[in-house]
Structure 1
Amino acid sequence: MFKIIKKRILSIIAVTALLVSLVPTIAFAETTHNHLLGNYNVKKPSNAGALQIVKKNGTSTLCDASGQSIQLRGMSTHGLQWFPGIVNNNAFAALSNDWNANVIRLAMYVNEGGYASNLSIKQTVINGINYAIANDMYVIVDWHMLNPGDPNASVYSRAESFITDIAKLYPNDKHIIYEICNEPNNASYPGVTNDATGWSKVKSYATPIIKSLRNNGNKNLVIVGNPFWSQRPDLAADNPIDDSNTAYSVHFYSGTNPVSSDDTNKANAMSNVRYALNHGVAVFASEFGTSLATGTTGPYLSKCDAWLDFLNANNISWCNFSLSNKDEVASALSSSTSLDPGSDLVWSNNELTTSGQYIRARIKGINYDVKDDTTSSVATAPKDFSSGYWDFNDGTTQGFGINKDSPITTIAFENSNNALKLSGLNTKGSNDISEGNFWANVRLSADIFGQSIGIYGNKKLTLDIIAPSPTTVSIAAIPQSSSYSWENPTRAKRVWNNDFIKQADGTYKATLTITTDDSLNFAKIATDSYDSKVNNMILFIGSTSDTIYLDNIKFTK
């Protein structure tokens, strides 16, 4: 599989033998942020006891059993249906002892091949809880709803019974935190809108579950998500759930979500956190990444430092996504690294990605030398979009990678002969060529990193598809802009065997055309004179052949 380029070069100055013997990620330059070093409030359950939310100086903050401030720092797993192997005692011991983490989040996806269709994943969660308790960590039981975006959808109907079952197994256990609504969104029907009405739907879902926990004597901390992929805790602050031990999540990715110094910008996740704190509710960053929101490109470490400095300064707890070896920038473990670190209970430095090395240091509160994101070769923008389209002539994938929410994650991709080569499509299950079930196929994303493609007045999106032999290919597209983040495509468009024409080099080529009628976001962006700049593209790709190439992805009139 093509490996997204990752730099793992750390500048370690060997001042003395003693310093060299310290943690491998230690370095001797630190940013001007004042809240990155030390972990005094990162206390373990054996010392801190049950968690509670207490108001201190008018701000709701997480505290231990004695009322003293406590911060949780740790990791989230990736989807347990895809990476069940991370649930092993050695991994949890490494996280607790070597990383000094005091929390692990168990991301139990409900849809996407998760609990709704595979009830055995519940035992994986139970095993994870037991390993967390044995290794003196708090554990977040994450009812991970994603698509569809409304937690009230029928696929999530087992939420209360699942959480009740866990609570019966671990009644009022001090280690356990319940996260009962991962990322409400409007990406797929049924969804929730990015406003007070959307939050009301989330609140109506969460309230009876929390009441059930309380009525059965469980005082555990509960984390509740909020609209726009948990970037709107401000909405919860304006209409909070009537429960004294509920916090509201924020999710962010440092390459996508900028920092903010005020609490008035509703389009900014940090601004919404500031608003929530200023209006009396507690916030918990139960998921964040060092990459783009796609899980690809980066890591954007100086931007992440700004976020972590803010979280630490405000005693906001956090979990990094993800403790997995998925081949993406956001993963903490290299793709060749075992999910079981072995009997020494340590993942060596070269078994970690740059993101993993960085997050380990930030959990421990030790120095880590962060390079300027703009000079890091792994965060460099595609070289040239002056042509206004993706032509792959610079030898890169021009930002394209597997989307973090893709149901299929094992497709190989690389730049080959100045085109985007995709391998393993048919054998890995990305082979649905129907108009409507494009959701079953691999999902690619490409962020063009501050550059943009103007499409005002355009009517067509065309893609050249090249294959070793004639085939059938299905593609649905969602262009995105700063104003239009998501509208479900109307349909996937297809090219068939007889559409392919033999080329001089022996390959076959067809051109697939997507119009504004096929992609609602395309239609909105192309008719908005104020915001007609595409800054990201999402493609859903199905093929009856294993290998295809994409080239010359462009908008035209």
Structure 2
Amino acid sequence: MNIKKNILKLVISSAALLLFCIPIGVSAAEPDYSNLVVSPAEKPSIGGSLQILQQQDGTKTLCDKGRKPIQLRGMNTHGLQWFPAILNNNAFAAVSNDWGANVIRLDIYVTENGYDTDPEGMTAKVIKAIDLSIANNMYVIVDWHINIPGDPNASVYSGAKDFFKKISSKYPNNPNIIYELCNEPSNVDPGISDDSDGWKKVKSYAEPIIKMLRETGNNNLVICGTPSWSHRPDLAADDPIVDSANNTIYSAHFSAGSEDPSPKDATDRTNVVNSIKYALKHGVAVFASEWTPAEATGLIEKGGIYKDSSDCWLNFLNKNNISWCSWSLANNNDASAAFIPYEMGKSKETSLDPGDDQVWSPYELTIAGEYDRARIKGINYEPIDRTKQPFTTTLFDFNNGNTEGFGVNRDSQVKTVGLSNENSALKISGLNKSSNLSIDNFWGNARISTEASNLHEDIKDADSLTMDVITASPTTVSIAAVPQSNTHSWADPKKAVQLLPQDFKLQKDGSYKATLTISSEDCPNIKNISSDPNDSVLTDMVLFIGASTDSISLDNISFSGFHSIDNKPVVNAPVGKGILPSTFEDSTRNGWDWDPSSGVSSQLNLEEANNSKAMSFYVQYPEKKPTDEWTASPRLTLSEINATRGDNNYFTFDLYLKPDVATKGTISFYLAFIPPELGYWALASEQFNVELANLSQAEKTPDGLYHFKVKFDLNKIDDEKVIAPDTILRDITIVAYDKGCDFAGKMYIDNIGFEK
């Protein structure tokens, strides 16, 4: 499960975002962004085998088979164990073609239920992803994603050499493949130091794997991670890896909201940009194989991303021909995720399969994803208006096997047409006498209408009507529409909309399909109805059908438009000062707030529960579960509390439930701490489960609430970690995880704290 990536706030030292940035050789007064709009990325079909070559200025850079500098620009997947749905051809085609990427990085987590837990399953996912990358003309980085622990020599990573041998044997010396040996070496226990000694440990791990690759004939580009979460390629420059093919490059990772792209102290090599400059100056090449436009914590600044800092970083990378991959192709509640996540009451998640058109619409992308796409393509970044949200309401899909109330309209001048359901679409036959294909003279064509459908659909804000037209062969079709409501009964269409033979595309079943769109300019009644504040409910619709063939079929008849988004902030009870125990008797939340990555962020109130003040909130778990179910699970955090457990053995709180619906599934409560000395991560091994089917057996309070005493044993922590009496816990996070439940209602939490 994605518990660590979704609850953990990975803390790396942060720096404030500057108001301007200073690329190499440019003064502060005149920031240079001339390298943000760049040429399309060169594909492997042209670039071929990659190599590192020295340039005239003495620096080394990545080059193609023709010895010309090449820059790779693309995206990271997220952990393939958590987001395998991205492994589909439509997604890889979209990233390659619509986004213009020439590289994709496969993040193969070893721990956290990754390769170490399921080596065969993860290897199969990697092979599928490599094949999709090659088929879609992209370079592919096979990333052995070490994260926790931070030492690549740790026993849990002992399968690295065999893994790379297996992949390189299946794809011998394949020019598309790049091997990344260790994602982010760090001091996370057991870890490595942020200095030359730490680099020696990374080097001693990497050299045998590189030697194996070269001895087996694989001269592929190799990326090697560097200490301090891959912030230190300068250390590699002082002591480069021995590689007989001279084809090893060193990683530099950064978060635009945390790492300063223009430090005042240019001699501080622990700063990432200084480290990169030092590495380039001292004869090694650098690859930014993972970066984000957000903070290292996954948080965002007001407005979405750290655009100024991101622009500065990418201008620097592009100017110096440093390849890069942004994080990540996921739809979770992380600020750097490229796709819209599930948020209760706000949005459904974007599917990781964009569909047969192989394009995600801009409204399916987050601000980070929209930014990533523009910068990968090398075009201007022009953000869409996010005060409006597109919608499509499908009125008729004919999946029930009948005509869904459609019939020949009583005023139709052609009475001989027949209507039937064929292949889950509305078949209209007998159109040989309904063949006027002009956009103006459609009145004599056959008319069909929905009078028998009991249509009652609100089309507020709609601006267009669409339908799929299906034929046996490419043809010409002309359709005009008159939607009607109780208030707006009839308004003549301005014109019919025409489909020509070239508009139809061959389908897998041998039929041909095109989508016909009727705008509010073509059909005034669309706007008349959809903009009426008192009556935007559709009650009937007449279609005029003309065709140059005897029969056609219609499907997916829908209205589309844009709803204005209510961006009014949620007004919570006063947050107050972070204190434990949290009893809420001072009429504040005692510092508790929604975790920034929680997909539930309803109003936090203070209400009476069992004759005591408690913190309350509303939650409704979705019927259709999102890909990452953690996004649908409420996550409350007490930040920077810096408490210790002392001589207490338990962490407890009172939970009260007031359900509107609660019949199935389990609400599973998790507890996590963020102690710096334990690698910013400590998860209680046991969960507290509320079985909704047995809710009636729970204790009930005099005010009608179901009551549970939730208790976590502080002596049982995952990964054999030990929370000592004086361990600084820093943050405390409580998660109400959705295990297939249908709960909708209020939750109350009270008396949060430690017990002996």
TM-score, normalised with respect to structure 1: 0.72
CA distance in 1, matches of 2:369, 2:590: 27
Contact 2:575/2:592, CA 8 A, preserved across alignment:
no
Closer, same or farther in 2 for the Cα pair 1:200/1:226, shift >3 Å? same
CA distance in 1, matches of 2:378, 2:752: 44
Are 1:139 and 2:140 an aligned pair? yes
Closer, same or farther in 2 for the Cα pair 1:37/1:310, shift >3 Å? closer
Deviation at 1:478, TM superposition (A): 2.0
Are 1:160 and 2:161 an aligned pair? yes
Deviation at 1:360, TM superposition (A): 0.4
Closer, same or farther in 2 for the Cα pair 1:544/1:254, shift >3 Å? closer
Deviations 1:357-397 (A, max 9, x none): 111001111111479xxxxx9999x9987735698969998
Are 1:287 and 2:477 an aligned pair? no
Are 1:367 and 2:380 an aligned pair? yes
CA distance in 2, matches of 1:102, 1:80: 20
Bigger shift: residues 76-85 or 260-269: 260-269
State the partner residue of 1:69.
Answer: 69
Show the 5 A alignment for 1:504-543: 506=705, 508=707, 523=726, 537=731, 539=733
Contact 2:578/2:641, CA 8 A, preserved across alignment:
yes
Amino acid corresponding to residue 315 of structure 1 in structure 2: N
Are 1:278 and 2:284 an aligned pair? no
Deviation at 1:465, TM superposition (A): 5.1
Closer, same or farther in 2 for the Cα pair 1:476/1:395, shift >3 Å? closer
Amino acid corresponding to residue 380 of structure 2 in structure 1: N
Are 1:108 and 2:108 an aligned pair? yes
Amino acid corresponding to residue 89 of structure 2 in structure 1: N
Bigger shift: residues 288-297 or 345-354: 288-297
State the partner residue of 2:366.
Answer: 353
Deviations 1:82-125 (A, max 9, x none): 22121122211111111111001111222222222221221221
Amino acid corresponding to residue 163 of structure 2 in structure 1: F
CA distance in 2, matches of 1:222, 1:554: 49
Contact 1:503/1:509, CA 8 A, preserved across alignment:
no
Contact 1:221/1:247, CA 8 A, preserved across alignment:
yes
CA distance in 2, matches of 1:339, 1:102: 19
Helix, strand or coil for the counterpart of 1:187?
A: coil
CA distance in 2, matches of 1:200, 1:445: 41
CA distance in 2, matches of 1:522, 1:248: 41
Are 1:318 and 2:324 an aligned pair? yes
Closer, same or farther in 2 for the Cα pair 1:257/1:378, shift >3 Å? farther
State the partner residue of 1:85.
Answer: 85
CA distance in 1, matches of 2:38, 2:201: 37
Deviation at 1:490, TM superposition (A): 10
Q: Percent identity?
A: 44
Contact 1:462/1:512, CA 8 A, preserved across alignment:
yes
Deviations 1:265-324 (A, max 9, x none): 354333322332233222111112222323343432322222212211221111111112
Amino acid corresponding to residue 320 of structure 1 in structure 2: S
Deviation at 1:134, TM superposition (A): 1.7
Amino acid corresponding to residue 228 of structure 1 in structure 2: S
Are 1:475 and 2:671 an aligned pair? yes
Deviation at 1:352, TM superposition (A): 1.1
State the partner residue of 1:172.
Answer: 173
Contact 1:297/1:379, CA 8 A, preserved across alignment:
no
State the partner residue of 2:254.
Answer: 252
CA distance in 2, matches of 1:265, 1:159: 33
Closer, same or farther in 2 for the Cα pair 1:488/1:454, shift >3 Å? closer
Closer, same or farther in 2 for the Cα pair 1:320/1:474, shift >3 Å? closer
Show the 5 A alignment for 1:199-214: 199-214=199-214
Closer, same or farther in 2 for the Cα pair 1:445/1:146, shift >3 Å? farther
CA distance in 1, matches of 2:267, 2:230: 17
Contact 2:634/2:736, CA 8 A, preserved across alignment:
no
Helix, strand or coil for the counterpart of 2:673?
A: strand
Are 1:52 and 2:245 an aligned pair? no
Closer, same or farther in 2 for the Cα pair 1:41/1:114, shift >3 Å? same
Contact 2:142/2:177, CA 8 A, preserved across alignment:
yes
State the partner residue of 1:341.
Answer: 354
TM-score, normalised with respect to structure 2: 0.54
Are 1:236 and 2:236 an aligned pair? yes
Helix, strand or coil for the counterpart of 2:80?
A: coil
Are 1:400 and 2:595 an aligned pair? yes
CA distance in 2, matches of 1:200, 1:332: 36
Helix, strand or coil for the counterpart of 1:132?
A: helix
Closer, same or farther in 2 for the Cα pair 1:472/1:366, shift >3 Å? closer
Deviations 1:437-463 (A, max 9, x none): xxxxx9979697xxx77889x999988
State the partner residue of 1:8.
Answer: none
Amino acid corresponding to residue 272 of structure 2 in structure 1: A
Bigger shift: residues 540-549 or 93-102: 540-549
Deviation at 1:163, TM superposition (A): 1.0
Contact 1:181/1:224, CA 8 A, preserved across alignment:
yes
Deviations 1:198-222 (A, max 9, x none): 2222211111001111111211111
Closer, same or farther in 2 for the Cα pair 1:468/1:78, shift >3 Å? same
Contact 2:603/2:617, CA 8 A, preserved across alignment:
yes
State the partner residue of 2:601.
Answer: 414
Contact 2:573/2:604, CA 8 A, preserved across alignment:
no
- Highest RCO, 1 vs 2 (Cα 8 Å, sep ≥ 6): 1
Contact 2:199/2:226, CA 8 A, preserved across alignment:
yes
Contact 1:412/1:422, CA 8 A, preserved across alignment:
no
Listed as ranges, the gaps of 5+ residues in structure 2 are 1-5, 7-29, 342-348, 385-566, 606-615, 626-632, 659-666, 691-698
Contact 2:40/2:377, CA 8 A, preserved across alignment:
no
Amino acid corresponding to residue 148 of structure 1 in structure 2: P
Listed as ranges, the gaps of 5+ residues in structure 1 are 5-30, 372-376, 403-410, 429-441, 527-533
Amino acid corresponding to residue 400 of structure 1 in structure 2: D
Show the 5 A alignment for 1:542-557: none
Helix, strand or coil for the counterpart of 1:414?
A: coil
Contact 1:172/1:219, CA 8 A, preserved across alignment:
yes
Deviations 1:415-440 (A, max 9, x none): 4433577888xxx9xxxxxxxxxxxx
Contact 2:675/2:682, CA 8 A, preserved across alignment:
no
Deviations 1:217-264 (A, max 9, x none): 211111111222222222222222112211111222222323234543
Amino acid corresponding to residue 51 of structure 2 in structure 1: Q
CA distance in 1, matches of 2:106, 2:224: 15
Contact 2:576/2:590, CA 8 A, preserved across alignment:
no
CA distance in 2, matches of 1:383, 1:265: 44
Deviation at 1:38, TM superposition (A): 2.8
CA distance in 2, matches of 1:109, 1:379: 37
Deviation at 1:148, TM superposition (A): 2.4
Amino acid corresponding to residue 289 of structure 1 in structure 2: T
Contact 1:41/1:71, CA 8 A, preserved across alignment:
no
Helix, strand or coil for the counterpart of 1:129?
A: helix
Please identify the structure whose Cα radius of gyration is greater. 2
Deviation at 1:356, TM superposition (A): 0.9
CA distance in 1, matches of 2:603, 2:209: 51
CA distance in 2, matches of 1:399, 1:265: 36
Report how many residues are paired.
481
Contact 1:73/1:102, CA 8 A, preserved across alignment:
yes
Deviation at 1:33, TM superposition (A): 4.0
Deviations 1:26-71 (A, max 9, x none): xxxxx95424433337211122121111222122211112222111
Deviation at 1:327, TM superposition (A): 3.5
Closer, same or farther in 2 for the Cα pair 1:423/1:150, shift >3 Å? farther
State the partner residue of 2:577.
Answer: 387
CA distance in 2, matches of 1:384, 1:163: 54
Helix, strand or coil for the counterpart of 1:337?
A: coil
Amino acid corresponding to residue 353 of structure 1 in structure 2: T
Helix, strand or coil for the counterpart of 2:223?
A: strand
